[in-house]
Structure 1
Amino acid sequence: MSDQPFTPPPSAPGVEFERGIQLLRSGSHAAAAVTLQRLVDAEPNQVDARVALGSAEMGLGRWAAAEATFRRALDLVPRHPPALRNLGILLATWERHADTLQLAESTLDIDPTHTQALLARGNALTGMERFEEALQSYSQAAGFEDVAYEALVKLGQTYAALGQNEAALTSFDQAIALQPNLALAIFRRGLVRLPLRNFAGGWDDYEARLNLGTFVASSMSFYRPIMGQVARRIASADLANRRILLLGEQGLGDQVMFASMIPDLAGEGATVTCVCDHRLTRLFSASFQGVEFQGLATPPVLAIGADDTVLAMGSLGRLYRRNEGDFPGTPYLRAGPGVRNAWAARLGPRPKGLRIGLSWRGGVPGTGMSRRSLSLDQLAPVLDLPDCDFVSLQYGDVTAELEALNAGRGNPVRAFDPAEIYDFEPLAGLIANLDVVVSVQTSVVHLAGAVGTTCLTLVPHHPEWRYTASGSTMPWYGSVQLFRQPAPDAWAPVVHEVADALRLRLSRRQA
């Protein structure tokens, strides 16, 4: 039970429907879509088949088609729970929270006890950061047996977003008591414990992600054929002198962060092969001697012997970072000297003031892009600092944004071809030549911290767990300083704080 499309049971008549459902559950979305589309064409009023077809279309990234399919199912059977659930999830993925809220409330106007509508309403309000109202919807849903577990998990997440961590943990504990064998509540409890710096309990709970289908599908899908061989809760003593296949997981920033523990693993005397994003292989190879790195785009060879151990990179925390004192906080990544020197030459003489790297946008729809990002105009208090050299570190093509900003500026923001900093070794080499980085929550923060460049990080009011729940520091990186929003969307005071911190650095340099 989680924010994943509902797959109807093979209750509708016909072998074709059963085959479509089996294909869908196995992840064969293209074949499932063909089979289910054929069934819907033959039986247009078959609602369960339409819901399954929409799920397959979502799996293929055909968002507009999936939305139309779910809406047609709701036309045929108004308030159909699985169709409403899946449409709500689709809309939330694209941060169309107002549309989700309208869908839910129009349903609740007719049926105030519609459990999927209560959940959808809570999800929409959460996406709009109207957390107190979301609590009411989730609390009401928790009274219905069919969605009690999911509602309690949602309550826990919402309490955590409000900073009511004890209430959050209580909700997760109640969910776990209802369904002790389900992974979602355990995993979510870990995501509350970790930012509270309860690392021992948090990492233990974090292992539940490996049993969570939605997590594997979104963060480790490449490894699905070997997930059954991934070690759970292994002891470090069992790794001594073993051959280990280490699987990079989640996003680039996560892999950079978790890579800080590769030396701990290699110190066990193990032979380590690490599979990671192909943009990291050069940088990791230059930084960690004696470890073999393979890029996911190669594709890597995942041949596993009977005596080999398969580990997920995020599981290293449970082994090596169980207390705050276990985090060294020192730099551990380093681009090759040729790369660093080439950037030094391209950047030219140091400015009188500071050379500052900028990253102002992070995430994608579905990972909080809107609340994590800001515009270049909002960075004006930083960009107006005198005698500074500004360099874009922003991922992707931002030519139009920079041209609009730089028009008329005597001190334009410099930018390089995105292809030149797509791979993380040249990006790390560029960052190593900067005095300071100013960034929102994105992989640039992790990379700056990993190479030891000062990073002033603009953190939203409800940050990712990696940034902890409070304070100005991250345990992972000694060079990262956090500046937190005092309220949702309140970027102005954060930007001014960062500008003041930079102004202080300028005064010290020029003293």
Structure 2
Amino acid sequence: MATIAEALTIAFDHHESGRLAEAEILYGRILDADPDQATVLHLLGVLYGQTDRPKLAAALFVGAIGLVPDHPDLRYDLARVRLMLEDGEGAVAVLRQTVALQPDHAAALFQLALAFRSVGRHGDSLLTLERLLTLQPDSLEARYLADRAVEREGRELLAQGRIGHAVERLTRPVAESVGVPLLSAHAAASYSDGKPAEAARLLRGLLAVNPADAMALWNLSLCRFDGRDAAAERLARRARALAPQEAEAHAKLGLALAAQGRHAAAAACGRVALACDPAHALSLSNLGTLTILLDEDAQALRLADRALLVAPDLGDALVVRGDALVRLDRPREAVDAFRGALRVAPRLVTAHVNLAHLLLRLGDYAAGWAEFEWRWRSEAQAGWRRPFRQPRWAGVDLAGQTILVHAEQGLGDTIQFVRFLDAVLRAGPARIHLETQGPLLPLLTHSLDPARVSVIPRAANFPGVSGLPETDVQIPLMSLAGLFCPSLEAIPARVPYLSVPEERRGFWERRLRNDAPGARLRVGLAWAGRPQYHADATRSMPLSALAPLAAVPGVALFSLQVGEASEQIARAPFPVIDLSDGPPGMLEAAAAMEGLDLIVAVDTAIAHLAGALARPVWVLLAKDNDWRWLNGRDDSPWYPTARLFRQTRRSDWSGPVEEAARALRRLVEESV
């Protein structure tokens, strides 16, 4: 009769040769003779697992472990059948015991990663795979699963806005192969979506891992553009030093220089980029932008078209094409270009914003206001975005509710759009809280019905929201036009809609008469806006450019100018009476206007204020005028008392000023 050892040898040979029925019979006979044969319990359990009897297999493995508790392979095999039984938590427990007994058990670590994933513990799964990859760095299966886990966890963290955690997770060594591309892609998407700060955090995480990543450096330089900070230039120069042969490096340095207003130097970088790669579409597009800034519009159009031959779906190049066409007075083609950009890049903020301005300039208000809402995603508007808890008002009935209407951007914008509060009042709110800029508080408080509208100062922690009154809904002031002004004909153009106290009106009328007692016409002047405004150099002029007005007999000129530009009065080659020594503020400026016969102004808050007061106002406009003055008109549907004088050549104010002087001469003659 065979011994147990001999019988086990025969049974194992059957098992190994695939004669599973014979092996099962012999394993059973051995266990009948000696139930404590741990090896036989183990092998029969393996056989049961192979023949789809996982419950029986699990029972045998448990029995074997009871006899040999420190055997890691027994626990490993028990865990595998528990996975077959969909007992993920049981498999996790046994596999953790396995690797505790044998820390370098690679197969157990791999199965533990799978078990963690089966019960939704993706973070633990990834940690286990990282441990396995330190043992087997060339394991393709482990690397594949780790990459998928990293991608899943990274996307979840990014979607939750947990940027710091995402960077920490995705820049660990095991995650680099998928994490770095994922962070780069998310950074690009964040930047395109008007979130440069978020993009910068992601890129800084990449650079912490690889400080010599030229692409991360030059993309981080994009996130630092603010027109003042030289950090963007330093980053771009570091990137160019790492990759001087790359067109992209020169192109990004060009953008950094352009952001500081160094357009000629930026264009030179663009030309070097094209020397590196004549077909580099982004460099062609960027150089097109720069040539527009250098007033080379036809050349910009050619560069954009060259870029589009190389990359027909490059949204930025289509935007450059649209911008060039606007300046070449081909607005309908420009609309097509901007819409083409949005077909290939639906979330391209510059395309939306530029299209909005063009549609509004063309008088297509229904489409224009909708596009205008994209301003909130633009980098230029980043400082105005605020974390309101209240929902945004959609124009529905407001009976019994309170609403916060908050001003945005400049004083002129507030003056122009505050007229829409009448439409809000018709929706029946219990109260409107109008948050506005400090210089407008006295004027708007006097002009608006205090029983229905309370005028409050902009929050001290702007752009925060603490300290504001509790309301049911809120809306930005300029967004009211999208609710109530679908066409030019719908503009609420009843003027005046602002007013001043009689006492202040009388004060200024007496002063103006005393300052120029013999004048036939008293004319107020405002020749410059805020230097901080991005297009101020285009809309403003020097006081000396208004000399033709001073040459008209019988006219006394009064300065309504504030800020640095008012210092030009002392150097003016003609007499101008300075009113800046009077009480400050927009209410006082409005009261002074009531005593003037005419206001002549460039596109600033003074022009809007005069129009809102129904005072005669002549507005001197740059060739590339703001959208609110429309195209080609000499009147304004926003301000019935306004007359517009337009440049015919860029940077040349002689035409509109001479035309205004001739009109002023006729006005004086008619006043006799």
What's the CA shift string for 1:68-119, capped at 9, x where partnerless? 3322332232366776555444443443322221121121122112233212
The corresponding residue for 2:359 is 193
The corresponding residue for 2:75 is none
Q: Which moved more, 1:142-151 or 1:268-277?
A: 142-151
Q: Quote the sequence identity (%).
A: 27
What's the CA shift string for 1:23-42, capped at 9, x where partnerless? 9997769x969x959978x9
Answer yes or no: is 1:342 the counterpart of 2:507.
yes
Secondary structure of 1:280 counterpart = helix
Q: Which runs of 5+ in 2 are unaligned?
A: 1-165, 174-179
The corresponding residue for 1:5 is none
The corresponding residue for 1:282 is 442
> 1:316, CA displacement in angstroms?
1.2
Answer yes or no: is 1:108 the counterpart of 2:108.
no
> 1:449, CA displacement in angstroms?
0.9
Partners of 1:187 and 1:165 in 2: how far apart?
15
Partners of 2:246 and 2:442 in 1: how far apart?
51
Query: Which amino acid is 1:459 matched to?
Result: L
**Per the alignment, do residues 385 and 335 of structure 1 end up closer, same or farther by CA in structure 2, a change over 3 Å counting?**
same
**Aligned length in residues:** 486
Alignment of 1:327-476 (within 5 A): 327-329=491-493, 330-349=495-514, 350-364=517-531, 367-398=534-565, 400-405=567-572, 409=574, 411-417=575-581, 420-421=583-584, 423-476=585-638
Report which of the two structures shows the higher radius of gyration computed on alpha carbons. Answer: 2
Answer yes or no: is 1:325 the counterpart of 2:489.
yes
**Per the alignment, do residues 238 and 164 of structure 1 end up closer, same or farther by CA in structure 2, a change over 3 Å counting?**
farther
> 1:135, CA displacement in angstroms?
1.0
**Per the alignment, do residues 381 and 45 of structure 1 end up closer, same or farther by CA in structure 2, a change over 3 Å counting?**
same
Partners of 2:459 and 2:518 in 1: how far apart?
39
Query: Which amino acid is 1:472 matched to?
Result: D
Q: CA RMSD in A?
A: 3.7
- The match for 1:295 among 457, 460, 466 is 457
Secondary structure of 1:273 counterpart = strand
- The match for 1:167 among 333, 338, 343 is 333
Query: Which amino acid is 1:380 matched to?
Result: A
> 1:247, CA displacement in angstroms?
2.0
Partners of 1:266 and 1:87 in 2: how far apart?
51
The corresponding residue for 2:52 is none
- Relative contact order (alpha carbons < 8 A, sep ≥ 6): 1 or 2 greater? 1
What's the CA shift string for 1:433-478, capped at 9, x where partnerless? 2211111122211111111221111111111101101110111111
Q: Which runs of 5+ in 1 are unaligned?
A: 1-8
Query: Which amino acid is 1:354 matched to?
Result: L
Query: Which amino acid is 2:340 matched to?
Result: Q
**Per the alignment, do residues 81 and 449 of structure 1 end up closer, same or farther by CA in structure 2, a change over 3 Å counting?**
farther
TM-score (norm 1): 0.83
> 1:495, CA displacement in angstroms?
0.7
Q: Which moved more, 1:47-56 or 1:444-453?
A: 47-56
Partners of 2:256 and 2:440 in 1: how far apart?
31
Q: Which moved more, 1:313-322 or 1:362-371?
A: 362-371
Partners of 2:603 and 2:488 in 1: how far apart?
22
The corresponding residue for 1:3 is none
Partners of 2:648 and 2:501 in 1: how far apart?
40
Answer yes or no: is 1:269 the counterpart of 2:435.
no
Query: Which amino acid is 1:124 matched to?
Result: L
The corresponding residue for 2:19 is none
Alignment of 1:174-323 (within 5 A): 174-210=340-376, 212-218=377-383, 220-221=384-385, 223=386, 225-226=387-388, 229-231=391-393, 234=394, 236-270=395-429, 271-289=431-449, 290-296=452-458, 298-299=460-461, 301=466, 308-323=472-487
Partners of 2:533 and 2:627 in 1: how far apart?
16
- The match for 2:238 among 68, 72, 84 is 72
Partners of 1:80 and 1:258 in 2: how far apart?
48
Q: Is the 8 A contact 1:63 1:90 kept in 2?
A: no
The structure with more helix, counted as a fraction of residues: 2
Partners of 2:245 and 2:474 in 1: how far apart?
45
Partners of 2:592 and 2:252 in 1: how far apart?
44
The corresponding residue for 2:134 is none
Q: Is the 8 A contact 1:363 1:372 kept in 2?
A: no
Partners of 2:288 and 2:229 in 1: how far apart?
22
Q: Which moved more, 1:237-246 or 1:167-176?
A: 237-246
Secondary structure of 2:361 counterpart = coil
The corresponding residue for 1:6 is none
Q: Is the 8 A contact 2:549 2:661 kept in 1?
A: yes
Query: Which amino acid is 1:346 matched to?
Result: R
The corresponding residue for 2:291 is 125
Query: Which amino acid is 1:73 matched to?
Result: A
Secondary structure of 1:473 counterpart = coil
> 1:393, CA displacement in angstroms?
1.9
Q: Is the 8 A contact 2:432 2:453 kept in 1?
A: yes
What's the CA shift string for 1:343-391, capped at 9, x where partnerless? 3343343542211111222354662222222222221101222232212
Secondary structure of 1:477 counterpart = coil
Partners of 2:419 and 2:248 in 1: how far apart?
42
Partners of 1:84 and 1:54 in 2: how far apart?
12
Partners of 2:195 and 2:662 in 1: how far apart?
54
Secondary structure of 1:469 counterpart = coil
Query: Which amino acid is 2:408 matched to?
Result: E
**Per the alignment, do residues 507 and 63 of structure 1 end up closer, same or farther by CA in structure 2, a change over 3 Å counting?**
same
TM-score (norm 2): 0.65
Query: Which amino acid is 1:179 matched to?
Result: A
**Per the alignment, do residues 482 and 120 of structure 1 end up closer, same or farther by CA in structure 2, a change over 3 Å counting?**
same
